[in-house]
Amino acid sequence: MNLQLKHIAIIAILLIGIVASATIFFNNNNTINVRATTTTSLYATGLLDYLGTEYHKQHPDTVINFIAVGSGEALKRAERGDACMVLVHAPSLEKEYIDKGIITYHKIFAYNYFIIVGPPDDPANISNATSLEDAMKRIYNAGEEGKALFISRGDNSGTHVKELQLWEQAGLEPQGKKWYLESGQGMGETLVIASEKHAYTLSDIGTYLKYKKDGRIPSLTILYSNDTSLINIYSAYLVSSCPEQEKAKAQGFIDFLVSPEGQQLIASYGLDKYGQPLFYPAQDKLDELQEIWNQIAGNS
């Protein structure tokens, strides 16, 4: 009798184990992994991991896998079908992919500003520039005189595209000059290189503040900012070719980004650590941001 009870107990334990394993297997197979290509500034600042974690708490069946690359590469990967969602900040590039039907469901969810940073001694004297065009000309002239270096992302990212637009607007062509160097790296790495070389570069303010606070760019300071033409707009898109199940989950995350809760999380991110937000929510000036986006993208 005791032997029979032991056998029954063993069988019961085995059955419980099988049920538990089946439950874990079932749950894992009901978790949807959403592939999202994103600009490096959103990822390097920690914002996306923060938002992804908060979203996962409410939607445990959805995991957002962020792939941080420049905006140009993020869009190319979407075209290849390697992502279901893109988070980028290059309106002129975005429009090309919208027009080709590769991305859809456009939502502006955040913005901040580009800044020009450089060595504290400011050999190009851009801190006294009267305009953004004047600042670019001062850097160019100082470079030609052997007094300054400029580090470009050189990676077709949103920041790189913006930088090229600034040179063009100033009527200058720095490419090929000895003082004009391309890092081919993300924003954080480019800032580190600029700091090491005591050079100028264009950055989004969020990545700059994080790297400055972390002590990684001691030789850089903000030298030109607060120009309305340096506004930096972040948009989210669905990839048209994405499988429907994954696309539905991706849309859920985008809707979360533009929801009151998501916008509040964006507004508060960085306040405690950096004394100011790294990004601003789009909800309070969405019409204005859309109009600026249209202008940058070249829409009529």
Clarify whether residues 120 and 265 are in a common domain.
Answer: no
What pLDDT is recorded for position 168?
A: 97
DSSP helix/strand/coil, 251: helix
Q: Against a cut of 0.75, is the pTM above it?
A: yes
Q: Judge if 156 and 177 occupy the same domain.
A: yes
pLDDT reading at 276 higher than 90: no
pLDDT digits (tens, 9 = 90+) for 146-158: 999 999 999 999 9
Alpha helices in the chain (DSSP H): 2-29, 40-44, 47-58, 71-79, 91-99, 132-144, 158-169, 187-197, 205-213, 244-258, 260-268, 271-274, 286-297
Together in a domain, 222 and 269 = no
- Sign for the CA dihedral angle at 66, 70, 76, 80 comes to negative
- Number of domains composing the chain: 2
Which amino acid belongs to residue 28?
N
Q: Is 101 domain-assigned?
A: yes
- Judgement on whether residues 240 and 203 belong to the same structural domain of the protein: no
In a shared domain, residues 66 and 211? no
Farthest-apart Cα atoms in the chain, separation: 98
108 and 237 part of one domain: yes
Segments forming the whole domain that contains residue 79: 28-112+232-297
156, 60: one domain? no
88-144 pLDDT, tens per residue? Answer: 999 999 999 999 999 999 999 999 999 999 999 999 999 999 999 999 999 999 999
Q: How many CB atoms lie within 10 A of CB 218?
A: 11
Q: CA geometry: angle at 214 spanning 210 and 220, to 5°?
A: 75
Structural domain contains residue 89: yes
Is pLDDT above 70 for 13?
Answer: no
